[in-house]
Structure 1
């Protein structure tokens, strides 16, 4: 019966570990919000703030009292979010920084990056949110992706890296700061993401980049974190056929942003939404080979649907 006792002990330890994670999650969700302005600084820099999660995160950071440096490639949309922030938090200041994120690490981006470095050097930037990301091409085999789509995918890698390298020196000098990188559960909670290979691979880079920087800079007073959500309502989530199945567990960008800001500074990898943690738990129970086959089946079906849509004649 020794084997049975061993299984009981292992089961109890596993259940205790799950209970500890749940209690810790609930403790962060339900306690009073952290004063991130006092902990880190008076300014935040956020990339990709003109839509979706980025828009909601920018508004939520402003409501927390942080002034914002808004980094994106469309000046008109940057003005729109600036005006929205002014209405939501009239005392908050904003600065727009127009930067073609898909052109980073090229000669075309040198001047824009120089301006961004000058901007953040003059401010008390205590929080950086690397939100900008690219999902397309959707539901394609690797050989079907065009050169332009390959170039755009560099946003997930180089924008994150270069903007962090531009902002973090000031945090080091001040001995405080927080870096939040938006990753994805697609690279952490499931074994593969067929037909979205480039996206999942770049998001894996985000997680490893974040965890390594967390240990590299924590002695300097800087918290580096990767947030790895599942589906959040919006354009990007609608690209996945699985999002329809998990609609009850899919938060709005506003709900995600409110919870995400509470999680800043709490560990190198986090899943802010409780519903997403439930999805993460069940994805760990299902055998990898079964998840792989299910996802491949779904994405092949989606590929067929998208091909049908693309082949439709345009009107007018």
Structure 2
């Protein structure tokens, strides 16, 4: 091999290795730096869907611990009130609740709930939106074995509702030129090449990932950060007890973790 060709390939290889090292160092820097003051960086209020259990409960408590007031969006008024009372008691921040069955989005009832959500956030300095609510049941079934309405409910919650809630909150962020949107995706779309028997669920979460990536590009220049978190197995009700308590339990983190 001529010396110039050897030098060319060595340079390409060095640049490739340097690129990976730079990304690794960037991630290490993110892990080591102090947490952001979310209230100062983004705003004093956060909206979170599905806050009554699992990841949603833990994220709501963490946002309240960071000093953010919360708009809690869920379908069960009693559970929403319980979370609201616990947050006020433990962290002393303000809360508002919006009863919204996200599976009814794009229906008359869903339109009314969306109107209530817009009223609830009107005039608030909403700096953070967490689209956490999601449905993964029915699962572990072939497509032809599932009632179509159950699948469409999953699509409405995981895909349509996430889109409509984001569209409702973004205008205020654009006006204030700051904000953060955190969408909860799934490792089923990133960590594995396919997720059979959960085809519709995985497809909706793939939408979340692509939607988030494009929103990030669209709104970065407007001061808005967009992020897709993609957890795999987490010890919530969405994960079967066999995974949560038995053979994979050492590898399954709690929502708080």
Tell me if both proteins adopt one fold, taking TM over 0.5 as the criterion. Answer: yes
165, 182, 192: which one aligns with 1:180: 182
Partner of 2:219: 217
Structure 1 SS opposite 2:180: strand
Partner of 1:127: 128
In 2, distance between residues paired with 1:59 and 1:247? 24
Taking structure 1 as reference, are residues 199 and 87 closer, same or farther at Cα in structure 2, changes over 3 Å only? same
Partner of 1:87: 89
Taking structure 1 as reference, are residues 239 and 106 closer, same or farther at Cα in structure 2, changes over 3 Å only? farther
Partner of 1:54: 56
1:126-275 correspondence runs (5 A): 126-153=127-154, 154-238=156-240, 246-255=248-257
Structure 2 SS opposite 1:156: helix
> 1:157-214 CA deviation, whole Å, 9 max, x = no partner?
0110010011111111111111110011211232211111001000000011111111
In 2, distance between residues paired with 1:238 and 1:10? 47
Structure 2 SS opposite 1:254: coil
Q: Structure 1-normalised TM-score?
A: 0.74
Structure 2 SS opposite 1:229: coil
Taking structure 1 as reference, are residues 234 and 16 closer, same or farther at Cα in structure 2, changes over 3 Å only? farther
Partner of 1:97: 98
Q: Which runs of 5+ in 1 are unaligned?
A: 256-316
Pairwise CA distance, 1:221:
1.1
Q: Structure 2-normalised TM-score?
A: 0.90
Determine if contact 2:235/2:244 at 8 Å carries over to the other structure. no
> 1:220-251 CA deviation, whole Å, 9 max, x = no partner?
11111111122222222337859966543432
In 2, distance between residues paired with 1:196 and 1:8? 45
Stretch of structure 1 that moved more, 11-20 or 119-128:
11-20
Taking structure 1 as reference, are residues 124 and 58 closer, same or farther at Cα in structure 2, changes over 3 Å only? same
Over the residues paired in the alignment, what is the CA RMSD in angstroms?
Answer: 2.4
Stretch of structure 1 that moved more, 234-243 or 188-197:
234-243
1:36-51 correspondence runs (5 A): 36-51=38-53
Pairwise CA distance, 1:106:
1.0
Determine if contact 1:63/1:89 at 8 Å carries over to the other structure. yes
Taking structure 1 as reference, are residues 133 and 10 closer, same or farther at Cα in structure 2, changes over 3 Å only? farther
Taking structure 1 as reference, are residues 231 and 214 closer, same or farther at Cα in structure 2, changes over 3 Å only? same
Structure 2 SS opposite 1:216: helix
Taking structure 1 as reference, are residues 149 and 223 closer, same or farther at Cα in structure 2, changes over 3 Å only? same
Q: Which runs of 5+ in 2 are unaligned?
A: none
Partner of 1:109: 110
Stretch of structure 1 that moved more, 8-17 or 68-77:
8-17
How many pairs does the alignment contain?
Answer: 254
62, 65, 76: which one aligns with 1:63: 65
In 2, distance between residues paired with 1:175 and 1:69? 20
Partner of 1:260: none
In 2, distance between residues paired with 1:163 and 1:72? 12
In 2, distance between residues paired with 1:191 and 1:199? 14
In 1, distance between residues paired with 2:15 and 2:70? 44
Taking structure 1 as reference, are residues 38 and 190 closer, same or farther at Cα in structure 2, changes over 3 Å only? same
Determine if contact 2:209/2:228 at 8 Å carries over to the other structure. yes
